[in-house]
A = this chain, B = another copy of it.
Amino acid sequence: MPPEVPGTRRDCELLDRSDPLAAYRELFSLEPGTIYLDGNSLGAMPRSAVTRVAEMLSTEWGHGAVRSWNSAGWLDASRRLGDKVGRLIGARPGEVVVCDSTSVNLFKLLVAALRYQAGRSRSVLLTHDGNFPTDLYVADEVVRVAGGSAAVRRVPPQDLAGSMGPDVAVLLVTHVDYRTGYMHDLAGLTAAAHAQGALALWDLCHSAGAVPVDLGAAGADLAVGCTYKFLNGGPGAPAYLYAASRLQAELSSPIAGWFGHASTFSFEDSYEAAPGVERFLAGTPPIVSLAALEAALDLWQGVDIEAVRGKSMALAALVVGRADDRLAPHGVRVFSPREAAQRGSQVSLGHPSAYQLTRALAERGVVCDFRPPDILRVGLTPLYTGFVDVWDAMEIVEEVLEQRSYEDERFGVRLRVP
């Protein structure tokens, strides 16, 4: 049953009051006077990140210094945080590490997947048009590095399942599309890949913390994702990498750094990969950023992701309802799928002057973002976004459109991509 859409601001107040997630809002730092609808780009800061990082700096680095690699658990951080992410994406302990960036982790896993499949005469990376740019760039470069018959095959998203030929080594899909918010069928596409002998690699950047994800139940092979969107780990917080236990021993990373060695501090001359997922670590991880991220992940302990999803869908229904009722006459269209089950935790709105509109909204304290060519993204982050926030934001969008204040000369009336 689709959620009932509140028809008044008063309805929204009541929904916020009865919201089982309401208490989380106070755990975040939100600028007064701002409605933050861009947590799908950068999550808001958990207040605990400030105290956690201060403690890490003063006590662990400032006093413990090098000894803190052992005494403060820095050495285990990639694995410890990995397991905390793992609980949110249906991974078992020992299947996830936090390290590097999504781009670097994707590079490592794509090369590992091609190597794994090399003996099986499979050398195609199958992915979809409109995938997140860095995924496409990395994939293109991986086949250049791999040489031989390696190739990228890009197809329309809806053609993925039908394009799984006998030459496909690995399917690379971003679970929730960054522009449209479209959510792929993780279990279904994984099964389709397996049925044809391909591995399935999922980019979960817009999924973890936004929608329920169960890699284990889907039998997914590999995954990457960032931690700075719905997980609230901080700008550029280290990313994560998932490799199913059953595959780990047969996978090897092309970037053989000392943290991926079976015995980092033996300083041996030759490389022996660590037995588990740690073999995908490379260099020393950035501990200060990891401290902020760990505070954010700890906040997720005890959060009911189904409650998050329920509220996300209700917030999205409000956006869609208001867009249809009040914004459509001003040329706004709903660009995301209308079916909640096909949508992550964002609603994308199309408008010819979306860029200027985004700027004008920022001036009015509504933070959302623009994606080329004409998309305004409304990110919905149920831990700290309420119904009144969304109601008020949509009112402001309508005002700006009515007053045509987005045509303010400061921003130019022509569509201008930055």
A residues touching B (Cβ–Cβ < 8 Å)? 29, 31, 36, 38, 41-42, 44-45, 49-50, 53-54, 57-58, 61-69, 74, 100-104, 107, 111, 129-130, 133-134, 136-138, 140-141, 144-145, 147, 179, 226, 228, 234-239, 253-259, 261, 265-271, 282-292, 362, 367, 369, 371-372, 417-418
Report whether A235 and B104 are in contact in the complex, using a CB–CB cutoff of 8 Å.
Answer: no
Cα A129 to Cα B258 with chains together (Å) = 16
Report whether B41 and A29 are in contact in the complex, using a CB–CB cutoff of 8 Å.
Answer: no
Cα A277 to Cα B372 with chains together (Å) = 26
Q: A250 CB to closest chain B CB, in angstroms?
A: 16
Report whether B371 and A267 are in contact in the complex, using a CB–CB cutoff of 8 Å.
Answer: yes
Task: Name the one of B45, B265, B369 contacting A62, with C-beta atoms under 8 angstroms.
Answer: B45
Instruction: Identify which of A138, A238, A289, A417 gathers the most chain B CB atoms within 10 Å of its CB.
Output: A289
Task: Name the one of B63, B100, B418 contacting A29, with C-beta atoms under 8 angstroms.
Answer: B63
Report whether B140 and A270 are in contact in the complex, using a CB–CB cutoff of 8 Å.
Answer: yes
Which chain B residues border A372 with CB–CB below 8 Å? 266-267
Report whether A58 and B29 are in contact in the complex, using a CB–CB cutoff of 8 Å.
Answer: yes
Which chain B residues border A104 with CB–CB below 8 Å? 100, 104, 255, 257, 282-283
Known: A63-B29, A104-B257, A372-B267. A284 touches B228 (CB 8 A): yes
Task: Name the one of B57, B288, B369 contacting A237, with C-beta atoms under 8 angstroms.
Answer: B288
Copies of this chain, complex-wide, total: 2
Ordered by A's residue number, 9 sampled pairs between the chains whose C-beta atoms are within 8 Å are A29-B61, A41-B66, A53-B54, A103-B282, A107-B255, A107-B282, A133-B269, A137-B257, A141-B254
Q: A54 CB to closest chain B CB, in angstroms?
A: 6
Report whether A101 and B284 are in contact in the complex, using a CB–CB cutoff of 8 Å.
Answer: yes
Cα A148 to Cα B40 with chains together (Å) = 43
Which chain B residues border A283 with CB–CB below 8 Å? 100-104, 134, 236, 239
Cα A287 to Cα B226 with chains together (Å) = 14
Report whether A136 and B269 are in contact in the complex, using a CB–CB cutoff of 8 Å.
Answer: yes
Which chain B residues border A266 with CB–CB below 8 Å? 372, 417-418
Report whether B288 and A234 are in contact in the complex, using a CB–CB cutoff of 8 Å.
Answer: yes
Known: A138-B255, A140-B270. A288 touches B53 (CB 8 A): yes
Cα A372 to Cα B263 with chains together (Å) = 12
Report whether A57 and B53 are in contact in the complex, using a CB–CB cutoff of 8 Å.
Answer: yes
A-B pairs, 5 with minimum CB distance: A101-B283, A103-B257, A103-B283, A29-B62, A286-B289
Task: Name the one of B45, B137, B235 contacting A256, with C-beta atoms under 8 angstroms.
Answer: B137
Task: Name the one of B101, B235, B237, B286 contacting A282, with C-beta atoms under 8 angstroms.
Answer: B101
Which chain B residues border A292 with CB–CB below 8 Å? 57, 288
Report whether A58 and B66 are in contact in the complex, using a CB–CB cutoff of 8 Å.
Answer: no
Report whether B101 and A369 are in contact in the complex, using a CB–CB cutoff of 8 Å.
Answer: no
Cα A269 to Cα B36 with chains together (Å) = 28
Task: Name the one of B54, B267, B284 contacting A235, with C-beta atoms under 8 angstroms.
Answer: B284
Which chain B residues border A239 with CB–CB below 8 Å? 283
| Nearest CB in chain B to that of A255: its residue | B107
Report whether B289 and A254 are in contact in the complex, using a CB–CB cutoff of 8 Å.
Answer: no
Report whether B101 and A31 are in contact in the complex, using a CB–CB cutoff of 8 Å.
Answer: no
Known: A100-B100, A288-B234, A372-B266. A38 touches B66 (CB 8 A): yes
Q: A279 CB to closest chain B CB, in angstroms?
A: 12
Besides A102-B283, A266-B372, 9 more A-B contacts (Cβ < 8 Å) are A103-B258, A133-B267, A134-B258, A137-B261, A145-B254, A234-B287, A236-B288, A237-B288, A288-B292
